[in-house]
């Protein structure tokens, strides 16, 4: 199915992926991901390894493979189950990434220096007493090169500094929804199915996609009204948040709870399905604040550096700056 057909199908099923931006359009553009090296991600653990234990932790630099593929290969090499390989987050294969994996190998020794995986280099190894799990890292440091940048250099630099000060809307990025929104289309196909079908491993991306989409819809409303940075009456946290839908009463209250429920009313069958799956009501920050921000211009290219917390998306920062032409996606 072509991307145009998928876009038309998405709209016909009530899904819209062009979420509103918080900052005015600068009529600027750039080429994005011309080469894998143009998108570098360095995982920041935020803690030290214990130096002993039943888990061997490996730092792997990966150029062409995704996280799940690397985990599967490591499990086969170590002679362990794939579930005994841990990692803190999923990384894109169309990038150069550095991330840690843990292998539950018990007390036996393993020569990690002899490991060879296509497109990967093992940089370091250490023992630890715990398995690495999703979201337990401190965040990710990004170094992104934009090429063929079109737009007023001074104005773009001012916008970049404004983003550094104010942050951006904390949308789930387009990667969450699959190429052309395919994960959302899968959720639509699964809607009549029993909850046990949704729980199958192959359908977990569809579950994550629909839950993330509902959050983005609520955030979109707050962006349109200019309230995404600020706590409003009924918010259960001391910072602005939106719902990650699940079982139980909404964590928000008063007018905010009614507002969120009204916004998601047209998606009530999906909300009910998420409740039946046993997911709990949670909240996610509406504001994404980049840290350690840097900027270097070189002719028509622009090298941007910044760090983000776990579970957030660099593309949500970049989309507030300029319009991106994703060359990796165009070449698929």
List active site positions: 92
Least Cα distance to 53 among 135, 111, 126 occurs for 126
Half-sphere exposure of 203 toward its Cβ, with a 13 Å CA cutoff? Answer: 19
CB atoms within 10 A of CB 60: 25
- Residues facing residue 104 across a β-bridge: 55
Separation of alpha carbons 12 and 5, rounded Å: 11
Q: What is the Cβ-side half-sphere exposure of residue 195, based on CA atoms within 13 angstroms?
A: 11
Q: How many CB atoms lie within 10 A of CB 86?
A: 20
164-188 as b/e: b if 16+ CB within 10 A = beebbbbbbbbebbbebbbbbbbbb
Give φ, ψ of 34 to 5 degrees.
-60, -40
């Amino acid at each position: 199915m072509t991307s145009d057909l998928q876009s038309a199908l998405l709209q016909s099923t009530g899904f819209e992926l062009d979420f509103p931006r918080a900052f005015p359009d600068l009529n600027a553009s750039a080429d994005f991901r011309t080469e894998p090296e143009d998108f570098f991600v360095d995982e920041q653990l935020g803690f030290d390894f214990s130096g002993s234990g039943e888990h061997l932790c490996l730092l792997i630099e990966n150029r062409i493979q995704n996280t799940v593929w690397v985990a599967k290969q490591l499990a086969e090499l170590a002679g362990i189950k794939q579930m005994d390989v841990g990692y803190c987050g999923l990384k894109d294969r169309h990038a150069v990434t550095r991330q840690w994996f843990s292998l539950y190998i018990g007390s036996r020794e393993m020569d990690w220096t002899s490991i060879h995986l296509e497109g990967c280099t093992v940089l370091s190894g250490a023992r630890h007493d715990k398995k690495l799990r999703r979201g337990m890292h401190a965040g990710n440091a990004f170094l992104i090169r934009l090429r063929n940048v079109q737009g007023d250099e001074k104005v773009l630099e001012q916008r970049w500094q404004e983003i550094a000060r104010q942050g951006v809307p904390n949308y789930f990025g387009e990667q969450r929804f699959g190429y052309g929104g395919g994960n959302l289309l899968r959720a639509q196909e699964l809607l009549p199915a029993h909850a046990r079908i949704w729980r199958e491993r192959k359908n977990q991306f569809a579950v994550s996609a629909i839950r993330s989409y509902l959050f983005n819809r609520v955030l979109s409303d707050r962006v349109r009204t200019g309230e995404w940075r600020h706590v409003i009456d009924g918010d259960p946290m001391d910072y602005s948040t939106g719902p990650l839908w699940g079982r139980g009463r909404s964590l928000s209250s008063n007018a905010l709870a009614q507002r969120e429920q009204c916004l998601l009313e047209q998606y009530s069958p999906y909300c009910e399905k998420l409740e039946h799956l046993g997911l709990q009501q949670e909240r996610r920050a509406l504001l994404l604040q980049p840290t350690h921000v840097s900027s270097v211009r070189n002719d028509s290219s622009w090298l941007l550096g910044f760090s983000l917390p776990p579970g957030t998306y660099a593309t949500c920062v970049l989309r507030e700056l300029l319009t991106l032409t994703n060359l990796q996606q165009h070449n698929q």
